[in-house]
Homo-oligomer: A and B are copies of this chain.
Amino acid sequence: MSRAPYVGLSVTSGSRRATAADIVASVQREISSGALPAGSRLPPVRALEKQLGLSKNTAQAAYDELVARGLVEAREREGVFVMAAKTARSIEAPITTPPLPDFVAPALSRPDFTPRGVTNLSTVFIDPELLPTERLSECARSVLREKMPAQYDVQGYQPLREAIAKRLVARGLDVEADHIVVTTGSQQSLDIVARSLSRKKIAIESPVYAYAKLLFENLGHDLVGLPLDPFAGLDLDAWDRALASKPALAYLIPSFHNPTGYSYSSAELRGVLELCAKHGVAILEDDWGSDMLSDGEYRPMLRMLGGRNVLYVNSFTKKLLPSLRIGFVAAPPELVPTLVATKRLSTLGNAWLTEAVVAEFLDRGYYDTHLQHLQRSLDQRYAACLAALDELMPDGVKWTTPGGGPTLWLEIPRTIDLAALEAHLARRNIVVSNKSAAFLGEPNLHGFRIAYAWLAEHEMRAALTILADALRTLG
């Protein structure tokens, strides 16, 4: 029996005694480096065990692994040889696929995108024509003149936090850059606040921004409803009773409430703060809408009136570009480390590039100029929408007058079935939002949003004409 001579093998090990992994790694490296060309014969198992002082089977395990990886082949009675191909080979034995685990989808699964040719009469987004895409590109190009930095700050890009704090101070808030945590849109602000609460009970307006309600439910919170009627205002006696059940937090949208467009009156702002103080309920204020309102519709924020303990959330999503996904929460300093730690568990940090682009946009003063332009455009669309509603809507239909912003609430007679109306409109290529997920318990309103920020005036008029016809037909 004549066999090829075997090569010497040097095995590197971190331990006193080489492991199978060490042998595999050493052979691997020698093959990669060319020290062991294809066809080389490795030492027999027993020779290697003796050379390295190994316990039985270690060398055999290493060789089995090398074979499994397709790096060497064992030829019967000839020995173990280095193969030509160096790429890893799949295991050939059939493997039973493990089963899928039990997953549960939150309510409101993937909503449909509005298809081409369909008019969305209820979206909360703003017509991209009104958004500063050119100036944002300009800021991005400017940012890219420097190399992209590799690292990120979990709390958020420092110059962005400074620019945000400066803006908030100019609007009367007592905020510093260190109190701000930048998040992926305002949605992540709500997520990290709700996840950090030790007591899982939150009060929400009803109706309310549906993805906040669903988020809180998904995180296991008990919810308490604070009834909100945009035609009659807040029933603070009912709120008093609801807050007496001691939720940890009240999530409130006092300015341009979503989905109704209602803004709390100054007396209501004060009343709410007093009730929360009375019952020991902290406040999470979502101020998404006030930037989009006309100057005269500005109201002080709860954060301004109630001080640093009010958690204040806002974002640039609707006002600059939805695709930037930049929001933030301003928190009392002692709470910031907790929120940062929760953000780290959820997503670590955010994309540095977009944070820097928004910082540049704010720093150049583009944001204020843009907001003025945006408010003027929204006001025009709002006035045109009101005029069209006045002219077109049948008796029994009413609507809120938010004084600006992106949407109003259209309330229709309860005799008209909402699902039937939706189906009727869908056949005419018009979509309206089903807002049932926005209510806690029985809906106290019967209608949907009208999106004058999204639609140009002529589109709005055309859609409202069809809607009015539908209401007359079904009414």
Hey, which bits of chain A sit against chain B, CB under 8 A? 12-16, 19-22, 24-25, 28-29, 31-32, 61, 64-65, 68-69, 71, 86-88, 90-91, 93, 95-106, 108-110, 125, 128, 131, 133-134, 136-137, 140-141, 144, 147-152, 154-155, 172, 183-185, 187-188, 191, 195-199, 211, 214-215, 218, 220, 230-233, 248-249, 262, 265-267, 269-270, 273-274, 276-277, 280-283, 294-300, 304-310, 317, 321-326, 332, 334-335, 337-342, 344-354, 357, 386, 389-390, 398-403, 408, 411
A144/B140 contact (C-beta < 8 A), A282-B100, A305-B95, A325-B349 known: yes
Q: Name the residue of chain B whose CB is nearest to the CB of A154.
A: B110
CA distance A295 to B13 in the complex (A): 20
Q: Decide if B347 touches A185 in the complex (CB within 8 Å).
A: yes
Query: In the bound complex, do residue B144 and residue A137 qualify as a contact, i.e. CB atoms below 8 Å apart?
Result: yes
Verify B231–A15 contact, CB threshold 8 A: yes
Flag if A323 contacts B149 (CB, 8 Å): yes
| Closest chain B residue, CB of each to CB of A321 | B150
Q: A144 CB to closest chain B CB, in angstroms?
A: 5
Give 19 A-B contacts (CB < 8 Å), ordered by A residue: A19-B232, A20-B233, A21-B230, A21-B400, A68-B266, A98-B277, A98-B281, A104-B338, A105-B338, A105-B342, A110-B154, A110-B344, A133-B150, A148-B321, A184-B350, A185-B349, A187-B346, A187-B348, A322-B349
Interface contact B270-A93, CB-CB below 8 Å: yes
On chain B, the residues within 8 Å of A152 by CB distance are: 322-323, 325
Taking CB atoms, residues of chain B closer than 8 Å to A218 are: 195, 342, 345
List the B side residues contacting A19 at CB < 8 Å. 231-233
Instruction: For A276, list chain B residues within 8 Å (CB).
Output: 98
Closest to A185 in B: B348
When the two chains form their complex, are residues A100 and B309 in contact, meaning their CB atoms are under 8 A apart?
yes
User: Which of B14, B148, B338, B354 is close to A389, meaning CB atoms less than 8 Å apart?
Assistant: B14
Q: Chain B residues with Cβ under 8 A from A24's Cβ?
A: 265
**Closest partner residue, chain B, to A132 (CB atom):** B148
Tell me the complex Cα distance, A100–B394, Å: 48
Contacts of A347 in B (CB 8 A): 183-185, 187-188, 191, 325, 346-347
Q: Complex formed: what's the CA distance from A19 to B399 in Å? A: 11
Closest to A247 in B: B101
Copies of this protein in the assembly total 2
In the complex with contacts A283-B98, A349-B323, A137-B141 CB distance below 8 A: no
CB pair B345–A309 under 8 Å, yes or no, is: no
Closest beta carbon of chain B to A452's beta carbon, Å: 13
Query: Would A32 and B345 be within 8 Å (CB), given that A150-B131, A265-B65, A353-B354 are in contact?
Result: no
10 closest A-B pairs (Cβ-Cβ)?
A68-B266, A14-B399, A323-B352, A128-B150, A184-B347, A105-B338, A96-B277, A101-B282, A98-B276, A97-B307
A214 — nearest CB in chain B belongs to which residue? Answer: B345
Residues A341 and B310 in contact, CB atoms below 8 Å apart: no
Contact A14 B296 (CB under 8 A): no
CB < 8 Å neighbour of A296 from B88, B198, B317: B88
Interchain CA distance A100-B195 in the complex, whole Å: 15
Q: Residues of B contacting A324 with CB < 8 Å? A: 351-353
**A337 and B198 form a contact (CB under 8 A):** no
Query: Complex formed: what's the CA distance from A65 to B267 in Å?
Result: 7
Residue among A32, A99, A353 with max Cβ neighbours from chain B (10 Å):
A353
Q: How far is the CB of A323 from chain B (nearest CB, A)?
A: 4
Contact A398 B14 (CB under 8 A): yes
Q: Which chain B residues border A12 with CB–CB below 8 Å?
A: 386, 390, 401
Chain B residues, CB < 8 A from A197: 101-104
Cross-chain contact B233 with A21 (CB below 8 angstroms): yes
* Shortest beta-carbon distance from A327 to chain B in Å: 9
Q: Write the chain B residue with the least CB distance to A354.
A: B351
Contacts of A354 in B (CB 8 A): 351, 353-354
